[in-house]
Amino acid sequence: MGLAAGKKGLILGVANEFSIAWAIAKKLHDEGAELGFTHLPGDKMERRVRKIAEPLGAKLITPCDVQSEDDVARVFAAAGATFGSLDFVVHSIAFGPREDIQKPFVESSREGFKTAMDVSVYSLALVSRHAAAYMPAGGSIVTLTYFGGERVVPGYNLMGVCKAALDAAVKYLAYDLGPRKIRVNAVSAGPVKTLAASAVGDFDKLAGLYEMSAPMDRNIEREEVGTAGLFLLTELSSGITGEILHVDCGYNVMGSPGRAIEKVKALFLAKARALDPGLADKLRDDDEIKRL
Q: Which of 134, 146, 210, 251 is catalytic?
A: 146
Cβ within 8 Å of residue 70, ≥6 positions away = none
Contacting residues for 210 by C-beta, under 8 A, at least 6 apart? 190, 191, 218, 219, 220, 248, 249, 251
- Residue 284: other Cβ atoms inside 10 A: 11
Please say whether the beta carbons of 93 and 122 come within 8 A.
Answer: no
The helix (H) or strand (E) run that includes residue 265 is helix 260-275
Known catalytic residue: 251?
Answer: no
Catalytic option among 122, 134, 156, 251: 156
Q: Is 156 a catalytic residue?
A: yes
- Strands of the sheet with 8-12, listed across from one edge: 60-63, 34-39, 8-12, 88-91, 139-145, 182-189, 244-247
Determine if residue 9 is left, alpha or beta; phi over 0 gives left, psi from -120 to 50 gives alpha, anything else beta: beta
Q: What letter would DSSP give residue 190?
A: -
SS3 category, 202: coil
What amino acid positions are annotated as catalytic residues? 146, 156
